[in-house]
Every structure is written in C-alpha cells, then in structure tokens.
Structure 1
Amino acid sequence: MRYAAMAPSIRTERLCLQLRDEGDAEWNHELLGEHDGGTTESVHSIRLRLAEQRNQIRDRGIGLLTIRRRADDVPMGYCGLIVGRCSLDEPEIAYELLKRFHGHGYATEAAKAVMAAAFATGRTRIWSTVGAWNAPSLRVLDKVGFERHHETIDDRGRPLVYLVRHANL
C-alpha cells in the first residue's frame, strides 16, 4: 500500500521537530557518547550517516526528526518513524533525548506529535521495541497509548518488549 509522506516538520506547544541533517552531527555524537561504553564513531561518519538517512526519508516517506525547543532552538534529541524490526507499512516509533532533557515531558510531547503525523499518512498501526529494562521509555509509550504485544530476546540476550498502537485510539 502507498502512504503519504510523513510531515517533514511538526510543531507542538514547546517543540519543533524537523528533518535531521548534517548539522545535527555534533549533538548526535554527544548523544551516542552518553550510551553505555560511549562511542567510537566520529562526527564526520555521523554526518555521512545523517545525509544517508535524509535520502532514505525521501525514498520511504518516514524518518527521524530532530527535536528542538521552540523557545531557544536548542537540539534535544530525535523522534520519528523507522522500519527497524518492523516494516514500512507498520513502522516503529523511535526517540532518544540527551540526558539533560530527561524528565520534562519532551519525549512524550514529541512522541504524541509523531504519532499524529504517522496516522495522518494513512497508516493504521505503529510499533515500538524497547528493552524491558527501559522503564522511562515504557512510561512514555504508555502515555502515548501503546499496548504490550509480546516479548522476545534481543541479539545480546536481553528481554525486548514489542508494543503496538492502533490509529483508533
């Protein structure tokens, strides 16, 4: 089935979500550095990956958006749709914020906006996969209307939760 492209820019009360570009490489590098074990990826390679992702958005009509605070245009993280472990017809929502922006409702606000944009494309079901240990992300998904579908084990042997959200919520 063909779907409309997801909006390349979304505004909420506090946030502006826009297509990621090469200029987002520095804060993406910082975000990767916050992961367990940090990152060995260079800013240059992140820049190249972001350019490739932007091209994929044109081809697929879905992708990740940079989350910026409207008040000061500060980049805080990303949120959007990816194929991930699912499909183009039923993609996954993905989001991640720099740690200093956790706990202010930004992820929930961004996820709600992305879900509205996702369903505006004509899709009827969106998935999410989250590590069972990731209680903050599971809370965000609950607030956005996702329900647990099933659990499996990821490639590192850790529990992985599949959640789903239908358009009729």
Structure 2
Amino acid sequence: MEQPTAPGQGTVLETDRLLLRPWQVSEAAVQREMWTERDPRVPAHRRIDADGRPTVEDVEGWIRTRSQPDSLGLLAAERKGSGDVIGYCGLIDNTHGPDGEPEIAFELLRRAWGQGYATEAAGAVVGWAQASGYRRLWATVRDWNGASRQVLAKLGFAETGRVEPDEVHGDSLFLAKHL
C-alpha cells in the first residue's frame, strides 16, 4: 500500500487492485445502489424508505457537503483495471467505544462479493489507521453477517465479548484490533 496523500488533499490509498479515494458526485448512483441491495435485516434507517429515499439527488448532496477525509471518512473503492466503483471502506467516528478510537466500515456492491475486495480494501484502511497514529480500531457487525465477520477475522479483529441484543435486526457484535 502506498502512503496516503498529504492532509488537505483528500486521502487516496492504493492496493494491488483498488484505489480508495474520495467520492465524486457523479458516483451517487453507486452509493444508492448499495442502499437498494441491503439485506432486509438491516435497520430501516439504512435502507430505501417507502418514499424512495434517499434518492440519487439526496446522495449527491451528501457527497457535495462532506469534507475530504484526512484520518476519518468513507472512501470510494474503485477497481483499477475498469475504473468502476464497487463500494466503500474507511474509518468512522466510534460511538460505541473510547473517544479517539475509530471504527472501520466497509460495504460492497453484490457483484463484487466473494472476490477478496473487502479484505484488500479493509487491510489498506487498517494501514491508514496505523499511519494516522491510532492505537486501536473497532468494528461492529451483525451476528448474521458471516462474510463481514470473516473479513474482520482475516485482518486480526477479535470479538470483545460485548453483544448488543436486537431481536429484530440481529445482535451486534463488537470487535477490536490493536495496532
């Protein structure tokens, strides 16, 4: 992985097959497509609602108003060979653990599942976190999400024993990785 660009320029991470970089407004339809593909067990506020929201226009607005990430943010995952965006990976504010210890997050379009892209992207983001001076990363994952649990295990995340029960959407497991 190459080092991220200098602060203020927006972070760009590179792996063998991917560029992880800030989102472009023209890619809003890709983000919305992920919303449409989400498992029905995902909480309603993270799925398309009865009014069809978020719309592509809503997502375009989100992209326009977000600042370029330097040590936190969700980066678009672009395949180098084709230039298509297949999802995102990055660091978000952690609302479940100690302040200053971010959470890793990733999501890919279904057509990109099972090809190792999530592990590749998340590995680059773990390196970004370490280079940014973080000492520990967190992750939350639904118990039923075996694929994401496998990605996190491959990267050395360990279950903490903390579980947030949810009979409707599935229990959330809390994982951590020391850097």
**CA distance in structure 2 between the partners assigned to 1:74 and 1:57 by the alignment:** 21
* Aligned with 1:50 (options 60, 63, 67): 63
Taking structure 1 as reference, are residues 129 and 72 closer, same or farther at Cα in structure 2, changes over 3 Å only?
same
Q: Secondary structure at the match of 1:57?
A: coil
Q: Is the 8 A contact 1:131 1:159 kept in 2?
A: yes
Taking structure 1 as reference, are residues 157 and 72 closer, same or farther at Cα in structure 2, changes over 3 Å only?
closer
What is the match of residue 76 of structure 1? 86
What is the match of residue 35 of structure 1? 38
149-158 vs 109-118, which moves further? 149-158
1:64 offset after TM fit, Å?
A: 0.4
1:24 offset after TM fit, Å?
A: 1.9
**TM-score (normalised: structure 1):** 0.86
What is the match of residue 11 of structure 1? 14
What is the match of residue 129 of structure 1? 140
**CA distance in structure 2 between the partners assigned to 1:48 and 1:155 by the alignment:** 34
Q: Secondary structure at the match of 2:77?
A: strand
Matching residue's letter, 2:158:
E
61-70 vs 145-154, which moves further? 145-154
**CA distance in structure 2 between the partners assigned to 1:157 and 1:13 by the alignment:** 35
Matching residue's letter, 1:31:
M
Unaligned runs of 5+ in 1: none
**TM-score (normalised: structure 2):** 0.82
What is the match of residue 165 of structure 1? 177
What is the match of residue 67 of structure 1? 77
6-15 vs 40-49, which moves further? 6-15
Q: How does 1:129-148 map to 2 (within 5 A)?
A: 129-148=140-159
**Greater helix share, structure number:** 1
**CA distance in structure 1 between the partners assigned to 2:99 and 2:111 by the alignment:** 32
What is the match of residue 27 of structure 2? 24
**CA distance in structure 1 between the partners assigned to 2:99 and 2:80 by the alignment:** 30
Q: Is the 8 A contact 1:78 1:96 kept in 2?
A: yes
**CA distance in structure 1 between the partners assigned to 2:150 and 2:72 by the alignment:** 24
**CA distance in structure 1 between the partners assigned to 2:17 and 2:109 by the alignment:** 16
Q: Is the 8 A contact 2:101 2:136 kept in 1?
A: yes
Matching residue's letter, 2:107:
E
Taking structure 1 as reference, are residues 5 and 162 closer, same or farther at Cα in structure 2, changes over 3 Å only?
farther
